[in-house]
Amino acid sequence: MRNHHRQTPSILREAALLIAAAVGLALLANAWRPDGLSLFTAPPSAGELPADALQIPLEEAARRHADGSALFVDARAAADFAAGHIRGALNGPDHEFDRWIEGFIAATEPETVIVAYCEGSRCELSKSLVEKLQSLGYANARYLPDGWGRWKAQGLPTETGKAGG
């Protein structure tokens, strides 16, 4: 029995090291994901005003979608858009901006209210897209933080395929 008691601390120490290594790898993987969880900042509460003037609150975006007073632009890649997007949205991948912007400008008046979105609390695609659109004179362009995730969570209108863009 004495040998058994000597092994217990060793087993516990090894288990603790394995757990620490797993947690470390999980934190590293989360940090590398563009849509990783924000571990050190609290998510905005439902009624909180956006911290960034380029943001649009979910409630306003949903109202504008319902009354048709905004153009929604999905800043994610075409494959993500085809898998699911806000109903009626256009696909305007931020990383392919130069490919589609000319047609967008030809079809979209500068005063149009534009709501860009992507997925994940740390996704910067929609913010980047809005900054580019604003630099081209689209002063009413705003982005919806974690737009796709929050939109789906609220059960707001969605669709799949390429019909919206």
SS3 156: coil
Give the pLDDT of residue 162: 75
Q: Are 115 and 133 in contact (CB under 8 A)?
A: no
Q: Are 140 and 111 in contact (CB under 8 A)?
A: yes
Look at the alpha carbons of 34, 40, 41, 42 in this order and tell me if their dihedral is positive or negative: positive
pLDDT in tens, 35-57: 565 555 544 444 443 457 899 99
Give the pLDDT of residue 51: 53
Instruction: Please state, in angstroms and rounded to a whole number, the distance separating the CA atoms of residues 134 and 8.
Output: 63
Record the pTM. Answer: 0.69
Q: Can you give the pLDDT of all 165 residues of the chain as single tens digits?
A: 555 555 667 888 887 788 877 776 766 666 666 656 555 554 444 444 345 789 999 999 999 999 999 999 999 999 999 999 999 999 999 999 999 999 999 999 999 999 999 999 888 999 999 999 999 999 999 999 999 999 999 999 999 987 544
Q: Are 125 and 81 in contact (CB under 8 A)?
A: no
